Structure 1
Amino acid sequence: MSSLVLGASRLGSGDLDAAVATADAMLLSGHLIDTSRNYADGASERALGMALAALPSPQRADAASRVITKVDADPDTGALDAARVFRSVEESLAALGVERVPLLHLHDPYTVTADEALSRGGAVDALLRLRDEGVAAAIGIAAGPLPLVGRYVDSGAFDAVLSHNRFTLIDSGAADLFDDARSRGMTVFNAAPFGGDLLARGPRPGARYAYRPIDEALAAWTSALFRVCEAHDVPAASVALRFSTRSPLVDHTVVGVSGAARLVELQALDREHIPEALWAELDELGPAPSPFDGRRDA
């Protein structure tokens, strides 16, 4: 089974004391934690840093070794050059209270072209320098659109890749990308296996998949999925999660955690027994009518 990674994108977006308590539970869970300089305007890293600082020394070192973060474009100017990479890392290390991270992703590089980021003296060169200096043990590319992510994978510069909403029960468009990455020896992170929350909560008024409204065909397919899961007395969320964690293409599955209760729920979903007969019945549903074809998304 692939290991779960706890996503911290919403950590710190509400009450700070509650965020620190959630961060403490996440740090003590033994799971990797995925955060970013820009999550909750920096509050995600601050909450994790405060929780880390409160841990006894041996626990703190172990917990800190499991916190992954990302470099982000400047939130005001959109700059994502080498200078911004170094500044983003400095901000992250200060907020987390650490000197190094196990993995540092280039996150959503949408404000620069891949050619610019990969050019001599660009953002990727800065990441390579940080890896050489030991500030990051490894570097990765983390984004959604597959053609863009593929450009960075093809560069051969990265140790890891993360894509979100592109490898789920509904749309497995990232399969070729993940297979290519693994053939290069890269570590694969699959984020958002619920496609937002459609595969956790089911079709309902206003339901969305991968940030997009769903149509009647996808609503009907998802309803059929939920009926199969109910017939086997298995939560659909467990099936959606297991689709990712059982895949030989995926090393780590990233799921957002908004509170300590959500962490407990997620661990229970991961332990759920899923009979093989259920997978066979899902195959009989045929391909889902995805709102986008992940193999061609831009």
Structure 2
Amino acid sequence: MTALNDYRLLGRSGLRVSPLALGTMTFGQDWGWGADEAEAGRIFDAYLERGGNFVDTSVNYTNGASERIVGKLMDGRRDRIVLSTKFTMTRVPGDPNAGGNHRMNMVRSVEQSLRQLGTDRIELLHLHAWDDTTRPEEVLRAVDDLVRAGKVLYVGICNTPAWRVAQLQTMADLRGWTPLAALQIEYSLVERSVEHELMPMARTLGLGVMPWSPLGGGILSGKYTAADLDAQGEREVSATRKGVIASSGLLNETSLRIADEVTAVARDVGATPSQVALAWTLLNPAVAAPVIGARTLDQAVANMGALDVRLAPEHIARLDAVSRPAPIFPQRFVGQPMVQQLIFGGAAVAQRL
């Protein structure tokens, strides 16, 4: 994989997408730290000029500014872009129906996205997070109606437990409703817990994984040090980028140790730490396209350079050793030598996926 125009299929769909998706949560300055419209345009142009075709946003990013900017930037080249957006998050604080996964919010959000984006269709609509209140039948039938109406072409899901995603996919298959094609989840060298269930589920059920925050909120870029750690037991509460990362719990001694190893590997291969971190996510066979975000053109171009990075087996082993998550039940139990002996009787059995 060396270029954005070395396309791959999104999950079990026939949709062809670039191996890196352009994330646009940084488009607009309404949240205090994004790119202005001019810089967003330079980032967008650089991505498309290199063959990129996969653009990700959300109805609520930067209070709608992200979609409005993307809509303007797509003018004259709309048909070559695979547009991904999301619904769920509230757009009107205090209105109980302005957020969630129910049909009313889904339809209103899609209509608002279409207006903000200045388009008549959304190639990939993601449910942004499971709300634990809406029945799965309501979600699936409502989104299937949007597909049948031509307003949505494919469906994805984000930030939802593996068992629920599996239930939704099975239900869609059995009832002939639109299946899920994509899964957006947090995945990076500092967040590998999704490897326990979400990643193998996605590969088995045909969902292309779009890792968000593949740089661990910037931690893997090497920008943070021990001096940035908050006092014991405290979390910074602010709308700054550092505040968001600190409140997530990812800014800790373990993640900084992982970041140090990423930096060391980057020196060995002649790349930036961010490029190494992104190249590592692309090694997972379930991954379709990590979502890369940037506030400046230089950051965006550097991130796209991750496609040129080749990690040797010894580098992969070092990164895996420093970041490997501890096994959980039932893998922790089933993986024990005694249990494996009982299952296979000592015979060597090759696994086929």
Task: Say yes or no: TM over 0.5.
Answer: yes
Distance 1:288 1:228 in 2: 20
More displaced, 96-105 or 257-266? 257-266
Distance 2:157 2:188 in 1: 19
TM-score by length of 2: 0.69
Is the counterpart of residue 116 in structure 1 residue 129 in structure 2?
no
Q: Is the 8 A contact 1:27 1:33 kept in 2?
A: no
Displacement after TM superposition at 1:86 (Å):
0.8
Displacement after TM superposition at 1:169 (Å):
1.9
Unaligned runs of 5+ in 1: 290-294
1:167-221 deviation line (CA, Å, top 9, x unaligned): 3223322123122122122222222111111111254132647822533344334
Distance 1:24 1:234 in 2: 23
- Match in the other structure for 1:188: 209
Q: Is the 8 A contact 1:162 1:191 kept in 2?
A: no
Is the counterpart of residue 168 in structure 1 residue 197 in structure 2?
no
- Match in the other structure for 1:32: 54
Distance 1:17 1:222 in 2: 32
Displacement after TM superposition at 1:127 (Å):
1.0
Is the counterpart of residue 62 in structure 1 residue 80 in structure 2?
yes
Is the counterpart of residue 49 in structure 1 residue 67 in structure 2?
no
Distance 1:174 1:97 in 2: 35
- Match in the other structure for 1:292: none
Q: Which amino acid aligns with 2:111?
A: E
1:197-250 deviation line (CA, Å, top 9, x unaligned): 111125413264782253334433432442343244332222211111121111
- TM alignment of 1:141-160, pairs within 5 A: 141-143=157-159, 147=161, 150-156=163-169, 157=172, 158-160=179-181
Q: Is the 8 A contact 1:67 1:102 kept in 2?
A: yes
| RMSD, aligned CA | 2.8
Q: Is the 8 A contact 1:196 1:211 kept in 2?
A: no
User: In structure 2, do the counterparts of structure 1 residues 42 and 228 end up closer, same or farther at CA, with 3 Å as the change threshold?
Assistant: same
Say which of 88, 96, 108 aligns to 2:109: 88
Q: Which protein shows a greater Rg? A: 2
Distance 1:153 1:36 in 2: 24
Distance 1:210 1:179 in 2: 28
Displacement after TM superposition at 1:22 (Å):
3.6
Q: Is the 8 A contact 1:189 1:252 kept in 2?
A: yes
- Match in the other structure for 1:243: 280
- Match in the other structure for 1:129: 145
Number of positions where the alignment pairs a residue of Structure 1 with one of Structure 2: 276
3-state SS of paired residue (1:103) = strand
Runs of 4+ in 1 over 6 A off after TM superposition: none
More displaced, 214-223 or 261-270? 214-223
Distance 2:325 2:158 in 1: 25
Matched residues, percent identical? 26
- TM alignment of 1:190-229, pairs within 5 A: 190-201=211-222, 203-204=224-225, 205-206=227-228, 208=245, 211-229=248-266
TM-score by length of 1: 0.81
1:108-161 deviation line (CA, Å, top 9, x unaligned): 24xx31x52414xx3432112112222211111112xx53x5413321144234
Say which of 119, 131, 136 aligns to 1:98: 119
Is the counterpart of residue 265 in structure 1 residue 302 in structure 2?
yes
Distance 2:201 2:321 in 1: 28
Q: Which amino acid aligns with 1:264?
A: V
Displacement after TM superposition at 1:279 (Å):
1.8
3-state SS of paired residue (1:268) = helix
- Match in the other structure for 1:5: 21
- Match in the other structure for 1:72: 88
Q: Is the 8 A contact 1:161 1:187 kept in 2?
A: yes
User: In structure 2, do the counterparts of structure 1 residues 245 and 287 end up closer, same or farther at CA, with 3 Å as the change threshold?
Assistant: closer
3-state SS of paired residue (1:125) = helix
Q: Which amino acid aligns with 1:277?
A: E
Displacement after TM superposition at 1:27 (Å):
4.5
Distance 2:190 2:250 in 1: 14
User: In structure 2, do the counterparts of structure 1 residues 70 and 214 end up closer, same or farther at CA, with 3 Å as the change threshold?
Assistant: closer
User: In structure 2, do the counterparts of structure 1 residues 282 and 28 end up closer, same or farther at CA, with 3 Å as the change threshold?
Assistant: closer
Distance 1:168 1:161 in 2: 17
Distance 1:72 1:286 in 2: 32
User: In structure 2, do the counterparts of structure 1 residues 150 and 239 end up closer, same or farther at CA, with 3 Å as the change threshold?
Assistant: farther
Distance 2:271 2:43 in 1: 27
Displacement after TM superposition at 1:19 (Å):
3.3
Q: Which amino acid aligns with 1:250?
A: V
3-state SS of paired residue (1:163) = strand
